[in-house]
Amino acid sequence: MIHSLFLINSSGDIFLEKHWKSVVSRSVCDYFFEAQEKANESENVPPVIPTPHHFLISVYRDRIFFVAVIQSEVPPLFVIEFLHRVVDTFQDYFGTCSEVAIKDNVVVVYEVLEEMLDNGFPLATESNILKELIRPPTILRTVVNTITGSTNVGDHLPTGQLSVVPWRRTGVRYANNEAYFDVVEEIDAIIDKSGSTVFAEIQGVIDACVKLTGMPDLTLSFMNPRLLDDVSFHPCVRFKRWESERILSFIPPDGNFRLLSYHVSSQNLVAIPVYVKHNISFRDGSSMGRFEITVGPKQTMGKTVEGTVVTSQLPKVVLNMNLTSTQGNYTFDPVTKVVSWDIGKINPQKLPSLKGTMSLQTGTPKPDENPNINIQFKIQQLAISGLKVNRLDMYGEKYKPFKGIKYMTKAGKFQVRT
């Protein structure tokens, strides 16, 4: 399936190559560079590029292109999904997935890639198994290894690979047994000029960090499971139990994992926690424009809106901005024409605002479209859909674990049209 993998950095250097079948010359990447040039932006490089003898399927993450070489028909999503899994694994191993991190750990990278694919077909992609096969590098271990000459490579077959719970390793031991669940919801919305909602939906995930001894069997139930319209599970979740009782029942992997991601049915109303008042205008013939934004909370269920950042991509004719903000700092990048205003916490008594003028290039007509405003924010201790975890029970083990749950609401792709 997957013949070879090339990693290409943003300046167009191939800094790593790996072949699973016979060697494919790196000149095949020329087709990729050609497409990259044509696309002018990294985001616009088509994910699938045909060449005379191969097909290149690429993903772009963390400023690195991961280009897989394919020789014959294969579902493209299969390859794309796998490449993303590779990136996730690198992030898991090295903290970040940057060119430097990969170059520094090239041997580990090679060993991991060797285990992930056999003859181009995925072999072990579960992080729990991989980490047993090849231990992630830590400072302590690196020091110990250099002194004692021991290695990162595990010397026994991960039992998970063979068991009916391939995602969990056996013999897990913890002094403190704890299980944390984070319910994180993101609001995707498009707000139109007049402030009414064109489109809004809630996407949520439950991320878990489970450090429990042995083979615990957990069940998690919700107060209002009907809210979840469409869900996708970690393979550990027993689907039949969910279908019949709406209860999540699973033997968790060890460590961090994403238990569930869900979509709140679009039939429910979405509460929009902030509003934006804006007045952005360009006058014809004038070299000045007005820019005025006020942000305020709305439907926040009594919680504070934090970490608010407002960004906007201004049209090319804007040369500079002269603004004053009542709260937070703003920056304007005259090259990319992006204005970004970091507000932080919104105080409902004193609404933050950003006012001032834009100086425009003279002699050019005013732009047709006002810039869109993107907003980021966070609300702690609130799941905006109203989803609530009812209880978490553990079976199969004797001890009493410490359980914790946290809610958070964030802005996803939250866009205001002006």
The footprint of another protein on residues 108-127 (CB under 8 A) is 109-111, 114, 118-119, 121-123, 125
114 three-class SS: helix
The footprint of another protein on residues 56-75 (CB under 8 A) is 58-61, 70-75
Are 366 and 282 in contact, with CB atoms under 8 Å apart? yes
Smallest separation, CB 417 to another protein (Å): 6
Neighbours of 192 (CB within 10 A): 13
356 binds another protein (CB under 8 A): no
The footprint of another protein on residues 222-261 (CB under 8 A) is 229-235, 238-241, 243-245, 249, 258, 261
Of the pair 138, 176, the CB lying nearest another protein is at 138
Token pair of 130, please? 């991989």
Amino acid at 209: C
Cα distance between residue 66 and residue 416, in whole Å: 33
Window 13-52: contact mask with another protein (x via CB under 8 A): -xxxxxx-xxx--x--------------x-xx-xxx-x--
Window 140-169: contact mask with another protein (x via CB under 8 A): ---------x-xxx-xxx---xxxxxx---
The footprint of another protein on residues 305-334 (CB under 8 A) is 313, 315
Smallest separation, CB 175 to another protein (Å): 26
Neighbours of 178 (CB within 10 A): 13
The DSSP secondary-structure symbol of 277 reads E
Pairing outcome for strands 402-416 and 178-191? parallel
Of the pair 157, 288, the CB lying nearest another protein is at 157
Smallest separation, CB 398 to another protein (Å): 19
Of the pair 146, 324, the CB lying nearest another protein is at 146
Element (H, E) at 234: none
263 binds another protein (CB under 8 A): yes
Nearest to 197 by CA among 264, 286, 275: 275
Nearest to 31 by CA among 47, 50, 44: 50
